[in-house]
Structure 1
Amino acid sequence: MKDLFYLLSIPTRNSDKLKLVSELKATVINSKSIQDPSSAIHTIDLPSFKYGTLAACISLSEDLVKYDQQISSVLQKYIESSDSLNLTTTFTIDELSPKDYVNGFLWNNFKYRRTNARLDEIAEAIMKNVNAHELDFKNKQQDYQIARGTLTQLERKQLGNLSTKSLAGVVSERDIVESDFLESLFVAVPLNHLKEWYNKYERLGKMVVPRSSNEIARDSEYALVNVSVFRKYKEDFAQACRENKYIVRDFRFDSSLAQKSAEELEDARDKEKFELKKFSESLKVVFSETFQALTHVKLLRLYVESVLRYGLPTDYAYVVINLDDKSSSKLLPPLIQHFAHLSPSLASKVNDKSGDVNIGGEYAGLLDQDIYPFPLFTLDSPRND
């Protein structure tokens, strides 16, 4: 079961921050939705941002929704890439689990806090970092896919059936007849057509050497046979074979070819392992960077929505609540009731026993802010390892 985090804020004007958090913990305990509330609720600090004008905050609020969705999509792509390759990757953030990272969150001033930077500039810096790591991921992924494709192609030649696999090591020098006028061809014949082949191959073209075809090898699908033809009519004979669903193999005998093929396959396997290791390491890095970016964007959204909801000054308590999929539905109603006083319209519904509080999904804009009496965002921990 994956972890889920509620990120919410409450105004602290003329109030004791510790007391507010203590009351919140009591509400969670009474809800019986979380087994250990004392370790599930954490407060975090955010810097004093330059929030600008109201219009700028509204515009940024809309942009942050898009950034949130984009980063979440990129993060999911990384997880799916790891799963598709069956990698036993333990994703961490600076050697911390996603859960520990969020609970002990510290704003990354080195990356995302420039002196006198506006909020929109900080958001753009976050996205620039995400895009740079996504580009690196795509390059590493492409390198691995090329190496994997090369290996697959060589393995198909080595391990496929006789219609596709390399004939090095299958055909020996004694299977070949070569002269100024004659040439040996090698044909993969479906087993259910083998008798037919022997009955008709001498009539498939001009100047086919009688009784020159012999079986060299067979697998579960094909028999590989040789046949001697005059060079002048080789192409006509090959075309007649194709029309009869016999597969003429393009092969020139080389006594060193078997060893060369084995070495080529081994080199391709080493290359594939090397690129897979690089790709796996890249996944860990880009996941860490992107999850950090997503957490920063979520908290930027929380800050901006707090300014729009509560106004100035920016005296807010930012709280992280650890949940899971089951406990989230149980916890939200008591939270709404506890903080109903923050939204007069919602408070009247809570106090009216005949009315129902309509609990919708996470709001995405100003028109939805009356759904909850406090700004609320969710953050998923991608997996539990």
Structure 2
Amino acid sequence: MSESKMFWLISAPNREGQDIFEQVNQKTAKESNCSENKKFATPSLRVGTLNSLIALNDDLHRLDTFMENTAKKLAKQLGDLAGTKPKDKSLSIDGSPIQNYLSSFKWDDGKYSLKLTLQEIVDKLTTYTTKIDEELKTRAGEYSSLSSSLAAEERKTSGNLTVRSIQDLIPPEVLIQSEYITTAFVVIPKSQEKDFLQAYETLSEYVVARSAKRLATDPDFFLYSVFLFKKYYDNFKHKVNEKKWVIREFKADNAADLNKSSQETQKLTESKKNYKASFQRWCKISFPEAFTCWIHLKVIRLFVESVLRFGIPFNFQAILMRPHKPDDKNLRDILYNQFKYLGSAHISGKNELEEGEKFFPYVYIPIDCEM
């Protein structure tokens, strides 16, 4: 069975003479084997005013979702470019799996100085992530445009006779474009060839008798040429469409386009290949940036909610838990019994739903690392 990629980041206030981590670890890991636990190092962030914490806390939920989505879009894009589900190695942080980064998390004081206010740190995290998110949209759009252009060119020389280019299938002797006579090119299903040969001369006036000539074939269709008076071409085309056959337009002065199209296909193929390699490199570089921004924001969420819940001076223990099941009811019950003494007017029973969200006596921040 594969390991769960759901983590729980929880916190509870320290109690004199008690080791909160050891109590939780004893009950949830050693006795019940519900989870793997590690102490989680939280930095001494600047608290600020109560009003600023409350205002910031409202924004943190929204930003958490935004940053999570950005990281997961990068992971998905890497998978799409590779044609497979992204491997843990391709989603590493400094060469280590993202789970290891979480387990040994250290606050990046070089980027997010602890001298800054919480709002200033959040603004920096948001700026970094927004820049990555916007560039991802731009790069993905450019790659999609390249792919669409290449597919359109490839359809000109591939696909069945109803969609592919017929430039290379028309011999000069059947191409008549005089003042009075023209050539119509008709694609018909192979199963309807007999019907076509019996009907084409009477579909319109002034169709040249016995002029139909088979020019090309593919697994499902035939391409025929038919001579007729130019004046009645539109009427003939209309009658062909009524039969659910396909008229293919051909202009003599475009015959040279086939070579040009082939060159364009080669050019687009090379451009797409080069862009894809560049895009993959950028995603591999940007994913760690987006993921670490997201986790730093999680830490700020934990800090802010812990201070709002447990007060100041802050003195709480954070624990990173990796449940063996993504949402283990037994684990929830153990934690509830462990921390029910923290209950307040907000909690009247186990895991009561408050405003559509689960509310626990301890601070709970989920981290879904399933990319």
TM superposition score category, shorter chain reference: 0.7 to 0.9
| Paired residues of 2:6 and 2:370 also in contact (CA < 8 A) | no
Distance in 1, Cα, partners of 2:328 & 2:41: 20
Distance in 2, Cα, partners of 1:207 & 1:174: 20
* Residues 1-385 of structure 1: pairs in structure 2 closer than 5 A: 1=2, 2-12=4-14, 19-34=19-34, 37=36, 40-46=37-43, 48-83=44-79, 86-89=83-86, 90-113=90-113, 115=115, 117-253=116-252, 256-325=256-325, 328-343=328-343, 358-360=350-352, 371-372=360-361, 374-383=362-371
Alignment CA distance shift 1:324-1:270 (3 Å): farther
Per the TM alignment, residue 49 of structure 1 is displaced from its structure 2 partner at its CA by 2.3
Distance in 2, Cα, partners of 1:346 & 1:230: 87
Per the TM alignment, residue 143 of structure 1 is displaced from its structure 2 partner at its CA by 0.8
| Paired residues of 1:140 and 1:278 also in contact (CA < 8 A) | no
| Paired residues of 1:175 and 1:216 also in contact (CA < 8 A) | no
Per the TM alignment, residue 74 of structure 1 is displaced from its structure 2 partner at its CA by 3.4
Distance in 2, Cα, partners of 1:25 & 1:100: 19
| Paired residues of 1:44 and 1:320 also in contact (CA < 8 A) | no
Deviations 1:64-109 (CA, angstroms, capped at 9, x unpaired): 1222223233344444445556345321223221101111112223
Alignment CA distance shift 1:232-1:114 (3 Å): farther
**Residue 10 of structure 2 aligns to a residue in which SS?**
strand
Alignment CA distance shift 1:114-1:236 (3 Å): farther
Identity %: 24
Q: Number of residue pairs matched? A: 364
Q: Which amino acid aligns with 2:197?
A: Y
Give the unaligned 5+ runs of structure 2: none
**Residue 261 of structure 1 aligns to a residue in which SS?**
helix
Q: Which amino acid aligns with 1:109?
A: D
Distance in 2, Cα, partners of 1:74 & 1:176: 56
Distance in 2, Cα, partners of 1:88 & 1:9: 33
Deviations 1:202-251 (CA, angstroms, capped at 9, x unpaired): 33334332222111122233210011233344334333333333322112
Q: Which amino acid aligns with 2:350?
A: N
| Paired residues of 1:34 and 1:323 also in contact (CA < 8 A) | yes
Distance in 2, Cα, partners of 1:196 & 1:306: 80
Deviations 1:345-375 (CA, angstroms, capped at 9, x unpaired): 899x9xxxxxxx61357x789x976x32x21
| Paired residues of 2:351 and 2:358 also in contact (CA < 8 A) | no
Q: Which amino acid aligns with 1:301?
A: R
Mean CA deviation greater in 141-150 or 222-231:
222-231
| Paired residues of 2:162 and 2:187 also in contact (CA < 8 A) | yes
Distance in 2, Cα, partners of 1:109 & 1:364: 36
Q: Which amino acid aligns with 1:358?
A: K
Deviations 1:119-170 (CA, angstroms, capped at 9, x unpaired): 1232222222221111000011101111111122223332221111111332
Distance in 2, Cα, partners of 1:345 & 1:33: 32
TM-score under structure 1 length normalisation: 0.81
Give the unaligned 5+ runs of structure 1: 350-356
Distance in 2, Cα, partners of 1:232 & 1:326: 73
Alignment CA distance shift 1:272-1:246 (3 Å): same
TM-score under structure 2 length normalisation: 0.84
Deviations 1:287-328 (CA, angstroms, capped at 9, x unpaired): 322222221121111101111122121233322223332584
